[in-house]
């Protein structure tokens, strides 16, 4: 088999190398734990997060978003064009609505 063909086969195999069921369960456990911490922030009597509250919640939200998109939606293993398509919509939406919110003095 030629070197190019071997490379193409390896690339193809890598693209379709999805996690095992147990790995999916582990990801779900991580997602569940992050959600628990998020809910924990609601009970201020337990721990006062102060000015760290909103940044912490945003970071946890992004991590959950990233885990679902990369692992459950297989963006990590699929062709980059799919990530680019999705990111295009996401970035465009974020830009448009941040500008709109700025225009209405939301921040």
Partner 1 sequence: MSTATASADTHTEHDPHATNTGISNTKLAMWLFLGTECLLFGGLISTYLLYKTRGNGKTLPTDIFDIPFTSVSSFVLLMSSLTMVLALSAINRGDIERTRGWLLTTAMLGGVFIGGQVYEFTSFVREGVGFTTNPASSAFFTLTGFHGVHVSLGILMLMSLVVASVQGRLKPQNAETVEIVGLYWHFVDIVWIFIFTVIYLIPAE
Least distance in angstroms from the C-beta of 31 to partner 1: 5
Based on the shown chain and the rule CB under 8 A, indicate whether residue 37 belongs to the binding site for partner 1. no
* Dihedral angle over CA of 90, 93, 97, 99, nearest 10: 90
Based on the shown chain and the rule CB under 8 A, indicate whether residue 10 belongs to the binding site for partner 1. no
Decide if 48 contacts 42 (C-beta within 8 A).
no
Based on the shown chain and the rule CB under 8 A, indicate whether residue 47 belongs to the binding site for partner 1. no
Based on the shown chain and the rule CB under 8 A, indicate whether residue 86 belongs to the binding site for partner 1. yes
Helices (H) and strands (E) in the chain, counts: 4, 0
Q: How wide is the angle at C-alpha 80 spanned by C-alphas 75 and 83, nearest 5°?
A: 50
Based on the shown chain and the rule CB under 8 A, indicate whether residue 77 belongs to the binding site for partner 1. no
Q: CA-to-CA distance for 41 and 54, rounded, in angstroms?
A: 10
Q: Which residues bind partner 1 (CB under 8 A)?
A: 18, 20-21, 24-25, 27-28, 31-32, 35, 38-39, 41-42, 53-54, 57-58, 60-61, 64-65, 68-69, 72-74, 78-79, 81-82, 85-86, 88-90, 92-94, 96-97, 100-101, 104, 106
């Amino acid at each position: 088999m030629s070197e190019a063909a071997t490379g193409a086969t390896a690339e193809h195999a890598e693209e379709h190398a999805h996690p095992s069921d147990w790995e999916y369960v582990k990801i779900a456990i991580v997602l569940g734990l992050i959600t628990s911490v998020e809910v924990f922030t609601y009970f201020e009597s337990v721990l006062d997060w102060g000015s760290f509250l909103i940044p912490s919640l945003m970071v946890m939200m992004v991590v959950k978003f990233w885990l679902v998109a990369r692992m459950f939606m297989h963006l990590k293993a699929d062709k980059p064009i799919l990530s680019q398509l999705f990111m295009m919509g996401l970035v465009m939406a974020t830009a448009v609505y941040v500008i709109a919110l700025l225009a209405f003095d939301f921040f």
